[in-house]
Structure 1
Amino acid sequence: MTRRMTAFFAVAGLLAALLGLTAPAQADSARQLKVTTYNIYQGAPLTPLLTAPTLPELIRRAGIAYDQMVATDFPSRARAIAKLFRREKPEVVGLQEVALWKKGPLTGSLTTTYDFLDILLRELRAVGLHYRAAAIDTTFSATLPISATERASFTDRDVILTKDRLPVTHAQSHLYTARLVVTTPAGLTFTIPRGWSAVDVGLGHKPKAGPKTNDQSHTVRVATTHLEPTAASIRNAQGNELHTALAQSPYPVIAVGDFNSLPTDATGPYGTFTSGGYDDAWRAVHGPGGGFTARQDPDLRNLPSKLDHRIDYVFYQPSRLSAVAAEVIGDRPNERTPNGLWPSDHAGLAVTLRLRQC
């Protein structure tokens, strides 16, 4: 009897395979996309510079910020982030605070000292992962003296990374019209632009030879952003700009990033997206609790973790997409660097989404 049942199930399995009964599960898997958002931390807070009462104090604070950036050791943190990505294997990653730091004499040229994008890509290759920067949005940039003999420049960028073989088209980057303008007590004025980037990603098929075209029924648009943290009116305007721009997409949209907006922020970016046709992936999978992504101490050495609120999200349009899984990454003590640093002052969020057929 046992042999007959075994033979029966073997024949049944063969018939199912021949009739294509397993195809829906395979096709469903092919239409899944794993995305991650991660604010990787520029290395030091810069807001103290905006309140410096005098120019000498501004220079002193700028020097402290540069030294703290060095101390928070992005090369080591990049290795920790690469290990997280090796475990999660996201196909698309939205990164914020992808800093570019340069330093040099008060007069003369500056030399790149820390290019966070190059450092991270190198560490990803070292663990066998191959990504490309599919879209780069360069936002704020400034150069200041950091001592009596040196000056440094900081450039902020948001970046979309995609796996090398993933079909990607229509990369775009934009700056928001709404931007913060701050005049410091020392008399300097800084304009702080922010922006968003997006790419169209093809799922479930390989790119064809010749001009790159995506099958609309298997394509999604993935956007990333980092909205203004300090001024709610500016942040809300930026959120509205992004929502309006993404409404023009011919494809289902996934919007990821550091929105600097709590789930209770009904009139801010969270409310704009969740009342405007998007679901919050973490909430859809796990409910309203947990999912904390912000914020560790600026020196990244606090223990235990101080993550206690959510401002980093994966939003998606549920008319064509559904959230399958969601996980916070970089929030466990064993995910820190060997010298005791958190990978960032934020945690990342890794989400698997499924695209439904039209």
Structure 2
Amino acid sequence: MYSKKLNILFVLALATLMVFACDKQSPFEPDQGPTVDFGAYSPESNGLPAVDVMTWNIYVGADVDKIVEAAAQDPPDPNAVMKAVDIAYKELLATNFEERAETIAKFIADRKPHLIGLQEISLIQRFSAEFIPLESFDYLEILQNKLAGLGLDYKLAGKLDNADVTLPRLTDDYQLEYVRLLDSDVVLARGDVEIADVETAHYQYYLSIPGLDIPRGYVAMSATIGLRTYRFVNTHLESAVEELRLAQAAELAGVLGGVTLPIIMVGDFNTYAPTPTTADPGTVYKYLVNGLEEPYTDIWLNNQVGNEGAGYTAPHDSDLRNPVPHLDRRIDLILLRGANQIGPVQAFVLGDDLNERTSSGMWPSDHAGVFAKLHIK
């Protein structure tokens, strides 16, 4: 039924949803980082080489409810929509990616993964009514600066730009402005990892609403770690429409079908993985793990770190200030295919404990991240 586009008649609500995605004090001082003890559990690797990977949806930082409510009015009220964008933009400022990036960078410094897949890397720009630049937040640049400030050597291995949306904003003093979001998926590689054959592409099936396309895609590359080479893939699948999400997963599986290297696929898959509270996994999960001739292995199911629980990764509150964690789903995954043998897996959820908040008491993102040490033959 789908052409290369899927037209959804929920026009401004979904458009604004893409723009702004998805006062307790922290017990730590600002110069203290998260306290996950990655070295506390080190089972034997059976002689298999280790590769350390991380995935994290880092979140644009604002609530969309008021925008959606305003856009859903019949007939729509453009002033209400613009005011709602203003409210969301203020929340984006309050969730302060500079501060959140500092905590995310400290997580990276704690374990120094070879490869990192990041979703919702944002470029936010604010313009006057005449489109004079007023303010800009480049999340990739901010995070890279935080990593460099910690003495870490990480390079941009691959980047795919997705939705590029500009919407009007009405300020408190009734000034018209515009806010732009450029959403990207990114792979960072540690300096000693050799990267080759980088491929970025958008899926042919994507969400399209009148006047606006919302593409999604993947970043893939061959990564040599020591004497072993892997195909590393980062993706962020469609959240709103399950049929599209499945079509995107099928396209990605087809692209990777002929790859002979071991494949490590990470990302925000927007599909429920099995947990104690999710008896029936999502369609995309079942397709990737059970529905292929060469299925993927969900590494969390082989996790030997017993105190990490069910691996829930979402969601924190949109303002990132919920006083206790209430994550209840596992949608941020690390999947593996093509390994003759999978040795011990040591996997950790990042940003799900109270002592892992930022200096002002925010969670680093509305998603928790996932780190895994894999031993692959």
TM-score scaled by length of structure 2 = 0.78
Contact 1:227/1:239 (8 A) holds in 2: yes
Q: Which amino acid aligns with 1:172?
A: E
C-alpha separation in 2, matches of 1:174 and 1:108: 30
Q: Is the Cα–Cα contact under 8 Å of residues 321 and 353 in structure 1 kept in the other structure?
A: no
Residues 3-24 of structure 1 show CA distances to partners (whole Å, capped at 9, x for unaligned) of xxxxxxxxxxxxxxxxxxxxxx
Q: Measured at CA, do residues 101 and 259 of structure 1 come closer, stay the same or move farther in structure 2, by a change above 3 Å?
A: same
CA displacement at 1:353 relative to structure 2: 1.4
Aligned amino acid, residue 140 of structure 2:
L
Matched, 1:61 2:79: no
Is 2:288 the partner of 1:273? yes
Counterpart of 2:145 in structure 1 is 122
Alignment of 1:100-111 (within 5 A): 100-110=123-133
Cα RMSD, aligned residues only: 2.2
Structure 1 gaps, min length 5: 1-24, 184-188, 206-217
Choose between structure 1 and 2 for higher RCO, CA contacts under 8 A separated by at least 6 residues: 2
- Equivalent residue number for residue 355 of structure 2: 334
SS of 2:199's partner is strand
Task: Tell me whether 1:182 sits opposite 2:209 in the alignment.
Answer: yes
Partner of 1:343: 364
**Cα drift, residue 80 of structure 1:** 0.5
Q: Structure 1 residues 170, 112: closer, same or farther in 2, change over 3 A?
A: farther
Is 1:314 matched with 2:341? no
Aligned residues: 314
Output the amino acid matched with 2:283: G
Q: Specify the code of the residue in structure 2 equivalent to 1:279.
A: T
- Per-residue CA deviation, residues 52-74 of structure 1 (Å, 9 max, x unaligned), is 13222221222122111111010
CA distance 1:27–1:161, change in 2 (3 Å): farther
Query: Residue deviations 1:17-62, cap 9 Å, x none?
Result: xxxxxxxx99946x31100000011112457645613222221222
User: What is the one-letter code of the residue matched to 1:199?
Assistant: M
Partner in structure 2 of residue 139 of structure 1: 162
Once residues 264 and 340 of structure 2 are traced to their aligned partners in structure 1, the CA distance between those partners, rounded to angstroms, is 11
Equivalent in 159, 177, 192 of residue 165 of structure 1: 192
Match of 2:216 in 1: 194
Give the Cα–Cα distance (whole angstroms) in 2 for the partners of residues 266 and 26 of structure 1.
30
- Tell me which residue corresponds to 1:215: none
C-alpha displacement of 1:130: 1.5
Task: Give the match for residue 229 of structure 1.
Answer: 239
Q: Give 1:239 deviation, angstroms.
A: 1.1
C-alpha displacement at 1:176, in angstroms?
A: 0.8
Which residue of the partner structure matches residue 93 of structure 2?
Answer: 70
CA distance in 1, matches of 2:250, 2:319: 33
Are 2:260 and 1:250 equivalent residues in the alignment? Answer: yes
Give the Cα separation in 2 of the matches to 1:295 and 1:88.
Answer: 24
Corresponding position of 1:263: 273
SS at match of 1:274: helix
CA-to-aligned-CA distance 1:178-226 (integer Å, 9 cap, x gap)? 111235xxxxx43211111011111214xxxxxxxxxxxx210010111
- The answer to whether the 8 Å contact 2:296/2:335 transfers is yes
- Letter of the 2:201 counterpart: H
C-alpha distance in 2 between matches for 1:48 and 1:272: 35
Unaligned runs of 5+ in 2: 1-43, 275-279
Q: Is the 8 A contact 1:27 1:204 kept in 2?
A: no
Whole-Å separation in 2 of the counterparts to 1:41 and 1:298: 9
Corresponding residue for residue 17 of structure 2: none
Whether the 8 Å contact between 1:279 and 1:318 is mirrored in structure 2 is no
The letter of the residue matching 1:235 is R
Change in CA separation of 1:101 and 1:355 when aligned onto 2, cut-off 3 Å:
same
Residue 290 of structure 1 aligns with which residue? 310
Q: Is the 8 A contact 2:154 2:189 kept in 1?
A: yes
1:154 maps to a residue whose letter is: L
Q: Residue 223 of structure 2 aligns to which amino acid in structure 1? A: V
The corresponding residue for 2:36 is none
**Structure 1 residues 57 and 321: CA distance shift in structure 2, 3 A:** farther
Larger radius of gyration: 1
